[in-house]
Copies of this chain bind each other. A is one copy, B any other.
Amino acid sequence: MGSLEHVVTFRVRYSETDQMGTYYNSRPLEWFEWGRTELMRAAGLPYTEIEARGLRLPLIEAHLEYGGKARYDDELRMTSRAAFCGKARVRFEVEIVQAGNGAPVVKGYTVHAVVDEAGKPVRAPEWLVERLSTIPT
């Protein structure tokens, strides 16, 4: 099974810092979500289109390992990879580092169910599997 990879860069916003002077610990989950959005757009399958086709990909599991500080306005580089685990779950692996020197900031993964609009788990349709598995690993 192949996987799909996408890279974005961004800066830490003031609103994302806390009084310790680094990013607040829940912020990476927002960054991960934005990374998924851009990865799926790059794959030719915007998440809005997935929703328009009647599917949702709610999180069922998330894991984060905090590796280093990132201060206000630091430029970060986020790499997101998507892969299927079975036919009913999608897994995204994410790594965020300082854009300048590659120093680790945070990495982790999210696991998503494939459900219909009523929230019922469904087998991932072919168009979804194909789009998210197009690059051999």
Contacts and interface: CB of A to CB of B under 8 A. Distances in A.
Interface of A: 11, 13-15, 17-22, 24-27, 29-30, 33-34, 37, 46-48, 56, 58-66, 69, 71-73, 110, 119
A76 to B, nearest CB: 14
A119 to B, nearest CB: 8
Copy total for this chain: 4
Nearest to A17: B19
A25 B33 contact: yes
Contact of A37 (B14, B26, B60): B14
Contact of A18 (B11, B14, B63, B65): B14
Contact of A24 (B15, B63, B64, B65): B15
